[in-house]
């Protein structure tokens, strides 16, 4: 695949849809990796900060972040462009409804709204976790932020928007890329739903710290020691 081919994709309507699909799948992959990274919070401060240290000390990370930014930008720009074209075309065809691939579901009918919600969420996420002073340590920064109700409400809403977006976006992307087969499509659909449900994990992490389950389990674990010292 050369740069000429990619540039040609921008020029046709189906090409733009394919770019949106391909970048969407790459972003879904990133979300799964990011979820796994954040599950390290449950292993404790050493593990989480240790992993972030490995990432930040690796010179390749900056290029990966740049690649991720480009993928996000292509996905967003193609999304707006494709939507705009669909709207113009449906007006030309006297308000004919958009024909969603895979039938009409909550996920498909809310794609635009979940996309807008995710954009707002992501801006908030970057402003609160990415472009801030990290001197207190990443673990401290994340877990102390999750003690706040409003903060967690935004994270839960973001995770739900992401789950809904992927519940349709995942399978739709495969269809756009031409993978439409009576044997594989049901498997892709189910995989899409599983990936979508996994995204609720982001909400679970934030709620876990809001309710102080980490503190409760720390107390439970220290109880035998407390008892031992009392007995002694
Ligand atoms: C429990 C929920 C989450 C936690 C604790 C979390 C944590 C973090 C942290 C600490 C960073 C900054 C890393 C750095 O400065 O290098 C980050 C970056 C990022 N997060 Fe999240 N995140 C969560 C959910 C999400 C969700 C739901 C999305 C997408 C909708 C997302 C997308 C991103 C992106 C795109 C970056 C920038 C990439 C990077 O700098 O490595 N995150 N996240």
Distance 148 CA to ligand 1 centre (A): 18
Q: For residue 37, what are its two tokens?
A: 């990274």
Question: What percent of the chain clears pLDDT 70, i.e. is strictly above it?
Answer: 88
Whether residue 129 has its Cβ less than 6 Å from ligand 1: yes
Position 1 scores a pLDDT of 63
Whether residue 205 has its Cβ less than 6 Å from ligand 1: yes
Rounded to an integer, what distance in angstroms lies between the CA atom of residue 165 and that of residue 159?
10
* 28-41: pLDDT as tens digits: 999 999 999 999 99
Whether residue 162 has its Cβ less than 6 Å from ligand 1: yes
Distance 147 CA to ligand 1 centre (A): 17
pLDDT at 168 exceeding the cut of 50: yes
* 143-161: pLDDT as tens digits: 999 999 999 999 999 999 9
Contact 61, 49 (CB under 8 A): no
Q: What is the mean pLDDT of residues 126-144?
A: 96
Distance 125 CA to ligand 1 centre (A): 7
CA distances to 165, 190, 191, 210, 228 from 186, rounded to whole Å, are 18, 6, 9, 37, 56
Position 5 scores a pLDDT of 83
pLDDT band at 227 (very low <50, low <70, confident <90, very high): very low
CA distances to 45, 199, 206, 207 from 149, rounded to whole Å, are 22, 20, 10, 9
Among residues 48, 50, 25, which one has the least CA distance to residue 36? 48
Position 228 scores a pLDDT of 58
* Residue 4 or residue 228, greater confidence: 4
Distance 31 CA to ligand 1 centre (A): 9
Nearby residues of 55 by Cβ (< 8 Å), 6 or more positions away:
61
Mean pLDDT of the chain: 91
Whether residue 158 has its Cβ less than 6 Å from ligand 1: yes
Position 230 scores a pLDDT of 45
Contact 81, 13 (CB under 8 A): no
Question: Which of 10-24, 100-114, 125-139 is predicted with the least confidence, judged by mean pLDDT?
Answer: 100-114
* 61-120: pLDDT as tens digits: 999 999 999 999 999 999 999 999 988 888 877 655 555 555 689 999 999 999 999 999
User: Scanning the structure block, which residue is given the tokens 């909550």?
Assistant: 106
């Amino acid at each position: 695949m050369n740069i000429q081919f990619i540039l040609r994709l921008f020029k046709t309507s189906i090409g733009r849809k394919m770019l949106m699909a391909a970048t969407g799948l790459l972003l879904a992959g990133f979300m799964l990796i990011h979820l796994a990274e954040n599950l390290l919070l449950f292993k404790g401060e050493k593990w989480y900060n240790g992993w972030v240290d490995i990432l930040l000390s690796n010179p390749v990370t900056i290029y990966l972040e740049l690649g991720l930014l480009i993928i996000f930008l292509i996905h967003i720009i193609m999304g707006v462009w494709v939507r705009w074209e669909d709207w113009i075309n449906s007006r030309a065809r006297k308000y004919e409804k958009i024909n969603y691939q895979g039938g009409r579901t909550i996920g498909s009918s809310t794609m635009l709204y979940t996309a807008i919600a995710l954009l707002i969420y992501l801006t908030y996420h970057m402003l609160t976790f990415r472009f801030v002073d990290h001197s207190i340590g990443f673990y401290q920064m994340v877990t102390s932020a999750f003690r706040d109700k409003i903060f967690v409400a935004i994270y839960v809403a973001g995770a739900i928007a992401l789950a809904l977006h992927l519940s349709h976006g995942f399978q739709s992307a495969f269809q756009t890329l031409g993978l439409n087969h009576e044997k594989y499509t049901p498997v892709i659909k189910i995989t899409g739903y599983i990936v979508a449900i996994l995204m609720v994990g982001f909400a679970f992490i934030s709620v876990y710290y809001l309710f102080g389950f980490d503190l409760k389990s720390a107390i439970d674990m220290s109880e035998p020691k407390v008892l031992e010292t009392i007995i002694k």
